[in-house]
Structure formats: C-alpha cells, structure tokens
Chains A and B, each alone.
Chain A
Amino acid sequence: MRTLTNIKAPEAAPSVSHESSEARKEQTGRNKGDGPLARDTTTVHRQSATGGSSTHARAHESAIKHVTGRAAYIDDIPAPSDVLHIALGLSPVAHGRLTRLDLEKVKRAPGVVDVITIVDVPGHTDIGPVFPGDPIFVDDEISYVGQTLFAVAATSYKAARLAVKEAVIEIDERPASLDPVTATERGEFVRPTHTHQSGDWQQALESSAHVLEGEQFVGGQEHFYLEGQACLVLPTEDEGVMVYTSNQHPSETQKLVAEVLDIPFHAVTMEMRRMGGGFGGKETQASPWACIAAIIARRTGRAAKLRLPRAEDTRATGKRHPFNNRYRLGFDDQGVLTGGDITVIGDCGYSPDLSDAVVDRAMFHADNAYSLGQARVTGHRAKTNTASNTAFRGFGGPQGMMIIEAAMDDIARHLGEDPLTVRKRNLYRLGRDVTHYGQRVEQITLLHDIVEQLEASSDYWSRRKAIAEFNAKSPIIKKGLALTPVKFGISFTVQHLNQAGALLLVYTDGSVSINHGGTEMGQGLHTKVCQVVARELGLDLEQVRITATRTDKVPNTSPTAASSGADLNGQAARDAASKLRERLFDFAAQHFDQELGGLDREGMRLEGGELIAGVGESERRIPWGELIQKAYLARVSLSEKGFYATPLIHYDRDAAKGRPFYYYAHGAAVAEVEVDTLSGEYRLSRADILHDVGDSLNPAIDIGQIEGAFIQGMGWLTSEELKWNEQGRLISDGPATYKIPAFGDLPPVFNVDLLQGHPNSQASIYRSKAVGEPPFMLGISVWSALRDALASLVDYRHCPRLDTPATPERVLMAAEALRNATLVKAAQPETSDDPA
C-alpha cells in the first residue's frame, strides 16, 4: 500500500523471478495496469478512534510547501517563454479631464508588443462589481491619482514599465474633493444615505440625566498583502481565456472578464490556488488586472502577465474606508445608555464598489456589544477623489465600533468610573437584547462570561491599581489599560451571497479530492474543509486533497469574505460528503454479506479508514479502499456535489429592520501600554485575549487568525498611516512610508485563549464560529489603552480625543493639548462639559 505523497516505484524485477507464476502475473498487471481500477489504494496512517482528525490543531495544508519555497503564487507559475508582461499607465492627477493621450512613443519603445486604451475594449468598459462606476480605463473623466489610463504589453517587465514613461499625457485638472465631511455637506455620495432607528431617540436624549457628544476620525488601512495584485492569462483554443489570478472572488472576475471580452462565461476559466494574503483587497479589486491581461492575451494570442509593483498597487487600489464618526448619546447616572444619535461617514473614494455594504456594516456595528437604547444610526457614503475604497477584514464593522468605544471611555471619565465598569453595564442583557436594527442577540450571557473570565485571568483590577500608583509617581512615562469587547455579526449582509457549492471526487485508489468555491489566502480555509471531509468520511487528512479553486469545478461562487469561508464552504463540502457517504452505505448494505442478508444499514459508519457495520459479534469492517473499488465496479457514482444556503437571515432595507446575521461571534481583549508623553512613543507591553469560536474546527488555525487579526487591528489604529498630499496623491505608498507592525511590535506578554464550552447556538459547521474578521476588532483595546494612559495626565477627569492611527505624533499632540489645557484650566474656574 502506498501513501498519496510518496509513490514508491514497483519492486525491482529480481524479486519477481522467485515468485509463483500467479504472483508474476499480478506483478505484470501492476506494472502495466489493468483497467481503470487503481492497483493500490490509500491507507490510513494515524489511527484516530473518533475519526476526529477534524478537531485537531493540524498544520496548514501547505505548510511544508511554504517553508521550502515550493508553494507557488501567481508570479511563480511557469509561463510560456513568449509571455508578455504588462505595465500600466496611471493618472498622475486626482480629478480632471483627459485631453490628450499620445502613446506613439510608447508603441515604439523597445520590446513593446501591444498598447491598449478604452477604445480597444471589445465588450463592457464598466467593470463596477456591484454597481456601475468603475471604468476599466479612463475615458475622459479622471477620478483619482492612480486610475488606469492605458496598458502596455512588452517582452519583459522592465521594458513594459520603461515604455509607460514615454506617454504624453495632458489633463485639464480640476480641484480634487478630498474631504468626506465636506462631500457629505454637499450631498456628494456614491450611494444613498441609510438610517436605522429604534424608538424615539430625540425623546431619549431630552430625558437623559446626562448627554455627551464626540467626534472622531478613524483612518483607513492599506491591505499590504505581501503578494501584490497579480494574474496570468493564457488564451485558449476557442475564443476564451484561462486566468490564473490572486483573487478572493474568482466567479466575479470570470463574469467581468467575459463581459469585457464579450464572450460567454463558459469560455472563461479562473484558477486560484492560493493568495499571498488578501484581507479583502482582492475581493473586487483583483478583477481589473485580469480583465486587462485578458484583452491583451486575446489580442496578441500570447500569454500575458500583469503584476503590479508595490507602489502602483498601493496607489491604484482601494483601502479600508476612513470614517468620520459623531455621537450624541444620553445615559443615566450609572452610565447606561438611554439612547441618542450616531452618524458615520464612510470615505468611499470615487465609486461605489462595495461601499454600500461596508457602510451598512459600520452601522450594524455602531453598537458593538452594547444596547444603544432608543437610537438613530445614520450612514453616509461620501464620494471623494481617491481610489475606490473596498473590503478589508471587518468590512466597516471596526470603523463603526470605534465610535461607541470612544463613547464608553468618554462616559466613564465623565462619571468618574472605570471604563470597564461602564462597558459591563452596557453589554446586551435580558430586557436590553434587541439591536437598533431589530435583531435579537442570542447567547446573551456569553459576552458577560467572556468579560468576567478575562477580567479575572488578566488580573484587570490589581493591574489597574498598580498602574494608578505608577502613574501617580511617574510624570513622563504613563501606563494605560483597557478591556474592550467585540460582538461581530456573521453573514454577508447581501443575502444572496450566503450560498456555497462543493465538488467531491473519489478515485479508485480511495484518494479524495475536494473542491469548493472558497479561496485560500492563508486563513486555513482549505485545511478546515479537508478536515470536514476527512471527518465525514472517516479518513485521514492525508487522504483528502484540495486542489485549486476553479470556476469550471464549482460555478457561481461567492467571494471568500465576511469570515464566511469555512461556514459556507465547510457546509457545502459536508453536504457533498454526507450524500456520498449515504450512497456508499446504501451500496454496502446490499453488496456485502449478501448471503447473510446484507449489512445492517442502521448504525453504519465510516471511521478510521473503514466502513463499520453492526456491533459486537456481528461487527463487520470493510476497508475504505475495498469499499470504493467495489462500489466502482458496481457502477456506483463516486463523485458528489454539495450545496449550502444559510438559513434564517433576512433584512428589509426599507424598514431598516431584520436579522441580517445568522449569529454573532464574540471576544474581548485587555491591552496594557506604556506611553512616553514627551515624545509620543509607546509600546504594547501585554495583551490578553479570550475569543469565542464556538467549537473550534482547528484550534491552531483559529489562534493564528486571532493573533494575526489582533496585531493587524493594532497596526490599523497605531502605526499604519495613509497620507495624501494636497493634490490627492497618496504619499505613503509603500512599506518605506507605510508601517505595518513588525516583529518587535509583538507584545512581550501575549496570552490568547479560545472560549471553551460554548458551541454555536446555531447549527453552523460542527457548531464552530467564523474567525477571520471578529478578532480584528480586539485591537481597539490598544487604542483605548492609549487614551487611558493619556487621561492619566489630567487625573482621569477627561478622555482626550485621539484620532487614528494614533501615531507617536498624534499621541504627543494629544498629550501636549492635555498639558496645555491643564495650564489654562488652572487659571479658570471648573466648567461642566455636560450640556444637559
């Protein structure tokens, strides 16, 4: 018996000469093959009594390939030797009309084979993913710095890039609109404003004992996937193309490529093995490059590769939406919210892209874990002259949560309470368990449990005391502490996306291949799906292999986004596997032990690489390989497709009410920081996290997601600063100027635990919970801790405004403002900032 990965050559001939003629015949059969049936079948190696390899902390399916450099990404795929390399001509200005585009010198540059603009597009020229508004190339209206004007294909990457510089571009420049608040005042939106309302928020404000208001700017975030946007397109023998792309949404790109080429969808095949990171940045924004490369490939009949250099990638593609948020909230003497008004303005950039749903999600999370009371939440989608902002882990949720977390801190300072006390009092609880959009929060005690457990395990209160003592004695270095919770809604808020398909293939050696619509970007989705199939079929993980995501295997898929990858595709794979399993049971029940009246269909199971029927004396075990081969010979189909659609969810946009989320995932984090209030430098010295993943599908992967998301969330709120100059050009356009967390930003003490004993109350895949996005927002604790440290400068009487990212510059400026205010205040009588 052989293993899948290690195919041994047949035994050498001499040993055969000693064998009987029967054996010799068998050996010949082995070598030459005798029909479609496999000569050997796969074996189960690691016996696990429960077939429970699915719950193990298994390594990433590609781990060994990653560490040996054998894992191939787009630019690593061997391309035909005549492959063309594409470079793009991007707009140098943010707003204006293209009055002249002279590409004669570009065409004559060394190595150039083709140059295309909007007029060369055979089909659709608008490649807006959901709503129109994204031209593949500029026609005449220019909307941002980095917008694509033309493309050059040349024999080398360098030749193409050099040729671009030869273009003569004339633009009638207009003033660029770069401020979303001004845009909102002028009513310049990419999509209409939407409002949630629960109860009479005005009346609540009027009758509240206290009212506070506040404002904040929450910066955007560059995805900084380590592998930049890339694709390779090969023309196929009919009118179609084969597209290899680093892409979270192959089906959408397939559609767009087909429409741009004006060919049927079935002529376009996408293949996506793995991405070097996506984080939302390759959900809609991987498509333009595939469309452009496809046009070149069809025009030239040659393979075409498009890979964006880092700076161009950063300028041309959208980011996490920056938000300007405002709150005006009423609360009682305990700090419990009575109601009020929250406004969030998403800076959407120049076109809708996914902004409708992103701002919706910000609105859905403006409550985070707290009941707002009688509240109105308004979300604007401001249009500005920047790249079209897009999906990014959390999808607006984090930006929405920031406003209520700011309010929690502010309320606590106002009342002289610890922020944790105020947060706990506001958590959803019985009687206050319906969100401002009408969804009831199930598992209502879960977040209370998390917060209490974490409070204890992190020693919150004794550290709070120690910090207060330290700060009292330390005029410059200040410590800060904060605990922030997360409640994050799981499901696409666009209902039809909540579906998934899978294709399960079993071959006659017993090896299993599973395909599904999800894409692997490092999150471990493929590992989890393999674990699901292995568990359903009672096999080893090694016997199940996943192959690249392909639109010709599973069609019409949803993006791998909204943390839904494992929830949806895991269920679809499970559906396929359980259907096949039932078919095999039906077959086995009739086929084996016929003379004894067949096997007992009841209680039949697949476990440890065997089919097991009956119990005790009459137990019968049939190895998986034998079962499969017998089934094949008996002409039983060994492939199956699976499908899943999430139940229960609905949202009525007109009423702004519904149950947009199948369930919520929860977590909480405690962060401790040290701040140098003279320089603004700071450091995260400790983080403690407790996070809810239901019954984990793979604890190692889940912990990896939580840690990675936390650090990424911290980066968003601290060092990652997007800066545009006054002309609207992004000047932090690469890792030299845009600083994501590095190795030394990892806190010296980092305790991360999964909440135990709380399976999902909904029937999700094995009662697990989605984990991709929710922990991102645990990073908010770092920001809140920074505010806590700063508040110590004024004896915790006031919480300074701290826009994000809270760079050392912003922290220093906030500290200076507090110090200056104290100086001024010392000369003036106390005033109340309570307008009530």
Chain B
Amino acid sequence: MIDFYLNGQRQQHADVTPDTSVLELLRTRLGQTGTKEGCASGDCGACTVSIGEPDGRGGLSYHSANACITPAHQLNGCHLVTVEGLSRGDALHPVQAAMVDCHGSQCGFCTPGIIMSLFTLHEQQRRRPAPLTQQRMEAALGGNLCRCTGYRPIRDAALRMNEYPDTHPLWADDPDLAGNVATLHTDATKAKPSAGATSQGRFDSPRDLATLRELRRERPQSRLVAGATDLWLESTQQLKILDDIINVRQVAELNTLEETPEGWWVGAAVTYSRLEPLFAEHYPAFEHLMHRFASSQVRNRATLGGNVANASPIGDTPPVLLALDARLALDGPEGAREIPIAEFFLDYKKTALREGEFIRAIFLPRPNADHNLKVWKLSKRREDDISAVLAAFAWRWDNGVMRDVHLAFGGMAGIPKRAPTAEAALEGQAPSQAVFEAAKAALRGEFQPMTDVRGTKEYRSIAAANLLERLRLMLASTSKDSDKKDAEVCLDAYAH
C-alpha cells in the first residue's frame, strides 16, 4: 500500500508493483498527465515534481525530484506536488505567471518540469530568502532541458517570480496538511514487511539497522535502493524486472551524519543535498564537484553510498574518496567490518561486498590545515554530464615539499584508481617542472584508458596528464590570491 498526499488529496493505492515509478503512477494509474516523460532516465527534467517531507519543525520541506526514476513506493508519507497542484483556480502561481509573462514556453513540453523546479526554488526562497545568484539558478534549473527557448526567458522568469503576489496553492490553506503527512511518515505499520508485499514482488522499507540486517539475511539477492538514480535505470532503460527491493532511505542508522574528532561518518543513505553544507565548510573542492554532479533533482535523492556501491569507473565521488583515504563501514548478516575505500573496488563493477552485505556509512577524515584537495571533472557539457575523466589530487605541504600525495582518477581504468608511480614521482618533492614531467610520464605508463562515447583513449591520456600540468602551473603561479592562481589556468566556471 502506498499512502501519501498528492497536491491536496490523500492517496492510498494498493498493489502497485515494486518497480513502478512515480511518473508511471501519476500518468497511467492516476490519469495526471501534466507531468511529462521526456527520457525516463533522469536526464531531461520534464518529469520534475516536488516532494515534501516533514522538516522536523512541524512543517514540510520540499525538494525537486525526477518522477521517472523515483520509486512510487518511496512516496509513502510524503507530500507530492505536481504541476496540476499549483494554481489557485484561475489564479496562476507566481512561477507560472512569471513564465507566461516572460514567454518562457514555446512547445511547452519541458514547461511542467521547469515550473516544478522553479516552484521548488520559490519555496526555498520563501523559507530562506537569498540572492538568486547565477549559481543558485543553475543549481535549480541545470537538470531541466529545454530544446526550444535557449533558456533566457526561463532565467528571466526565475529572476522575476518574486515580483508576483504570493498566491498559495489551494492545498497550502489546509492547516493540517503538514501534520497529516508527518503522521503518515512516521507510521510504523508502513515499515512492517507485510506493508511492502504486492502481488508482483516486494518493496520493503525498514526503519532500523537490525531489520535491514534481518531482511538481507533472508533475501541476500534483494536489490537495495537508496536514491534510485542508478538502480531505476535498470528498470526504465534495460527493462529489468525489479521485484525484490529493500529501501534503505528510511533506515535511521544509515541516515546519520556523525562528527568525531577525526572526521565524519556519513550514513550511506544521506543525500548529496544534505552533505553540501559539510562539503562547503571542509572540502570546498568536493562542494564544487557537487555543482557539476548530475542535477538538483538527482542530488536531492542520490547518495554517496549509492555512488560507491554502484562502483562505476566513471562515478565522480570514488576518486575523491580515494584521494581522501575515506573508509567504509560495511554491515550485514555476518556482522560489521571496516575497510579502506581503496580495498573496495576490485574489478569492473565488482566490489568487496559479500553476500547480503551493505554499506552502512562512509568515513571522511578531517582535513588539517596543510591538506590540499583539487578535484577536476572533464565532460562534454558543464552541467549534468558524466565525466570523461575525473581527477582528484590530494597532498599536504611539509616545508615546501609535497607529502602524502594521492592522485586518483575516474574514467582511466575499469575501476576508480590511484596512480602510485606518479604519486611516487611527486612524493617528498618540491613542485618543480622536472618532477611533474616525471609524474606525467609515469601516468602514461599507469593507465590504458578506453575509447567510448565520452572520449577517445588518446584524449583521456592527454587530458589526465594536462590536469597534472594544471596543478603544476597553479602551484607555480606567483599570484598571491588563490582565486587568481586558479583563474590563470582554469576557467572560472570550472575552477576547483
């Protein structure tokens, strides 16, 4: 049974197959066709909806999501807002009015998704007004493709939406909505295994670690789902039947963010959006990577745990985690253990996870003042693209020489991987041209990258070496100001 609120109305639906997406539920089961399908792979944003969850302070906090790759069963205890739910009778919502006045739609097919992304931004603005910088607008709209307008009128609508009288959607009049959603959200009966059974499989949502372990012992072959931003593509793109799913999104122990003197334990189900403040404070380079990582819709649901477990050679965070010497807390029917991230990736898409095992948390060591991290992602498009090459370089200064040099790469081998011989060339050295030449030469011997849709092997090799060269130039720059140093060798929009 799925139990949630759609715009103003409670929805209870029995026997929804485990692999049903929110988009399918809306369009085929509920006849709500305002939300569009442009790709069914999370890439176009036409299906964007806004999902409200209790914020712990008696209200609801909304995030945008791609309905096409969000499991319908994850709607339990949420408030789903769709494009149909924004206007108040004939009175348009401010984001709708702004889009009409700015001529923000042409064919109109992307428009419902754009509206929902703008709505989410508008909600965030209402809660915490802040200047609409280019970066914030990009964050809000980078996951919405429009083939017609070229985006200028959409940017104008974003900039103008706050000039309109704030007509609330009708459902916002209901004083009990947040409370009702919260009640559904915490409803323990939804966590019972029986709640996830359907005639065509299971979708279980355990709330605690013990239950998760138990379920994994019973069904080690079940598929874990967190943000579903990788897993769901197996259903929509490869047409695999997903009929035995365990949802880790609500497991309390996987949702904690625990600070220790040595660093942070990040629960495997913590979303990127939740991590952004931590990154911003302690790992600016990681935070900047987040601006280039997928889209808001994806980052609002996707997890570090999912990125690591997915073990793609072009996943963005594993090289960074390798460069940081992150550790993984694994857990499962056989008990808990801890391993360095470097021991996790065994071979192409093959990991150290044993049967039934799962990632509980990821440990990020606290960087000290001498620590340096640079993360550079190369892709065809700046926003919402997968890396051709990703480089994560970490080291610390010790009297003018580089120590603990970590050079980790994505896109250069079948797994995310460090370059030990190149690291050795730099270790204990001052950053001279000669040692960097040696490191670049070593790099060439270290990787035999592939040619694929994102780049040729020649390009990958040259680009990886050039990123080392970029590091050298940055270190050699005589500019005092570190932003200036970056600007000499890297475009502003791609810096860090």
Chain A contact residues, CB within 8 Å of chain B: 57, 59-60, 62-73, 75-76, 78, 157-158, 161-162, 165, 223-228, 274-279, 309-311, 474, 476-477, 521-524, 674, 676, 678-683, 700-701, 703-704, 707-712, 719, 721, 723, 731-732, 734-737, 739-746, 748, 750, 752, 807-809, 812-813, 816
* A679/B147 in contact, CB under 8 A: no
Judge whether B37 is part of the interface by a CB distance below 8 angstroms.
Answer: yes
| Contact code string B355-388 (vs A, CB < 8 Å = 1, else 0) | 0000000000000000000001011111111101
Specify the chain B residue showing the minimal Cβ separation from A473.
B488
Q: B148 touching A522 by the CB < 8 A rule?
A: yes
Stretch from B137-145, B245-253, B423-431 at the A interface: B137-145
Q: Contact flags (1/0) for B57-68 with A, using CB distance below 8 Å? A: 000000000000
| Interface secondary structure of B, over-half rule | loop
Residue from A681, A682, A743 with most neighbouring chain B CB atoms (10 Å):
A743
How many whole Å from A287's CB to the nearest CB in chain B? 20
Q: Given contacts A65-B108, A69-B34, A277-B147, are A742 and B383 in contact (CB under 8 A)?
A: yes
Of the A-B pairs whose beta carbons lie under 8 Å apart in the complex, a sample of 11, sorted by A's number, is A59-B103, A67-B96, A68-B96, A225-B147, A310-B39, A476-B489, A723-B453, A742-B382, A743-B383, A748-B134, A808-B380
Give B247-292 interface residues, CB cut-off 8 Å to A: none
Complex interface bits, B449-469 against A, C-beta within 8 A gives 1, otherwise 0: 000111110110011001101
* Residues of chain B within 8 A of A60, CB atoms compared: 103, 105-106, 108
Distance in angstroms between the alpha carbons of A283 and B151 in the assembled complex? 25
Determine the residue in chain A with the shortest Cβ distance to B37.
A75
For residue B155, CB closer than 8 A to chain A, the reply is: yes
Quick check: is B111 within 8 A (CB to CB) of the other chain?
yes
Chain A residue with the shortest CB-CB distance to B85: A69
- Give Cα A737 to B150, complex, Å: 20
Which residue of chain A lies nearest to B134 when distances are taken between CB atoms in the complex?
A: A748
- Beyond A73-B36, A73-B109, whether A731 also contacts B86 by CB under 8 A is no
Q: Kindly identify, within residues 147 to 164 of chain B, every residue whose CB is under 8 Å from any CB belonging to chain A.
A: 147-155
B36, A680: Cβ atoms under 8 Å? no
A713 → B minimal CB distance (Å): 10
Kindly identify which residue among A62, A476, A710, A742 contacts B384, using a CB–CB cutoff of 8 Å.
Answer: A742
Kindly list chain B residues whose C-beta atoms are within 8 Å of the C-beta of A62. 105, 108
Q: Which residue of A lies closest to B459 (CB)?
A: A809
- A contact residues around B110 at 8 Å (CB): 226, 276
Task: Return the 7 tightest CB-CB contacts between A and B, nearest first.
Answer: A69-B34, A522-B107, A276-B109, A66-B108, A711-B150, A522-B106, A735-B43
Interface size class of B (residues with CB under 8 A): 35 or more
Q: Are A704 and B473 in contact (CB under 8 A)?
A: no
Most chain B beta-carbon neighbours within 10 Å: one of A162, A279, A476, A739: A739
Contact yes or no, B494 A676, CB < 8 A = yes
Residue of A nearest to B469 (CB): A678
CA distance A793 to B155 in the complex (A): 35
> Measured between alpha carbons, how far is A330 from B28 in the docked complex, in Å?
63
Which residue of A64, A71, A678, A731 is within 8 Å of B489 (Cβ)?
A: A678
Consensus secondary structure, chain A interface: loop
Q: Mark B118-148, 1 if CB is under 8 A from A, else 0.
A: 0000000000000000100110011011111
The answer on a CB contact under 8 Å between A227 and B109 is yes
The reply to whether A731 and B453 form a contact with Cβ atoms under 8 Å apart is: yes
Residue of B nearest to A73 (CB): B109
Q: Contact: A226 with B96, CB < 8 Å?
A: no
Please indicate the chain B residues that have their CB under 8 angstroms from the CB of A66 in the complex.
Answer: 99, 105, 108, 111-112
B491 in complex: contacting residue of A57, A223, A683, CB < 8 Å: A683
Q: Which residues of B contact A701 (CB under 8 A)?
A: 103
Taking the nearest CB of chain B, how far is it from the CB of A275, in angstroms? Answer: 6
Q: Write out the residue numbers on chain A whose beta carbons fall within 8 Å of the beta carbon of B100.
A: 59, 63-64, 67
CB of B382 within 8 A of CB of A683, answer yes
Q: Give the chain A neighbours of B84 by CB distance below 8 A.
A: 68-69
Choice from B105, B383, B459 contacting A813 with Cβ under 8 Å: B459
**Which residues of B lie under 8 Å from residue A809 when comparing CB positions?**
380, 388, 455-456, 459, 463
Question: Do the beta carbons of B150 and A735 come within 8 Å of each other?
Answer: no
B475 smallest CB distance to A (angstroms) = 14
B264 to chain A, nearest CB (A): 30
Identify the closest chain B residue to A77 (Cβ): B33
**Centre residue among B38, B83, B137 by max chain A CB count within 10 A:** B38
Q: Is there an interface contact between A736 and B41, defined as CB atoms closer than 8 Å?
A: yes
For A57, list chain B residues within 8 Å (CB).
103
Does B33 lie within 8 Å of A72, measured CB to CB?
Answer: yes
Asked if A732 meets B147 with Cβ closer than 8 Å, knowing A63-B100, A76-B33, A812-B459, the reply is: no
Within 8 A of A (CB), among B457-496: 458-459, 462-463, 466-467, 469-470, 473, 487-491, 493-494
Residues on A with beta carbons closer than 8 Å to the beta carbon of B466:
678-679, 812
Contacts of B141 in A (CB 8 A): 743
Q: Cβ of A523 and Cβ of B106 under 8 Å apart?
A: yes
Q: How far apart are the CA atoms of A577 and B239 in the complex, in Å?
A: 53
User: B residues within 8 A CB of A676?
Assistant: 489-491, 494
> Counting CB contacts under 8 A, is B307 at the interface?
no
Q: With A707-B149, A735-B41, A741-B150 given, name 5 new contacts (CB 8 A).
A: A157-B28, A228-B38, A678-B489, A707-B153, A734-B43
Answer yes or no: B35 CB below 8 A from chain A CBs.
yes
CB <8 Å contact, B108 and A276: yes
> Using Cβ atoms and an 8 Å threshold, which residues of chain B touch A740?
145, 147
Q: Give complex CA distance A25, B137 in Å.
A: 61
Contact with A along B424-442 (1 / 0, CB 8 A): 0000000000000000000
Give bound CA distance, A157 to B379, whole Å: 34
Minimal beta-carbon separation of B254 from chain A (angstroms)? 27
Q: With the chains together, A311 CA to B236 CA distance in Å?
A: 11
B413 interface residue per 8 A CB criterion: no
Residue of B with least CB distance to A677: B466
Whether the Cβ atoms of A711 and B34 lie closer than 8 Å is no
Question: How many angstroms between the C-alpha atoms of A65 and B142 in the bound complex?
Answer: 24
Contacts of A224 in B (CB 8 A): 145, 147
Complex: A622 Cα to B330 Cα, angstroms: 84
Whether the pair A746, B150 counts as a contact (CB closer than 8 A) is yes
Q: Is B394 an interface residue (CB 8 A)?
A: no
A17 to B157, CA, bound (A): 51
Docked complex Cα distance between A63 and B97 (Å)? 10
> What CA separation (Å) do A278 and B467 show in the bound complex?
40
Residues on B with beta carbons closer than 8 Å to the beta carbon of A703: 103
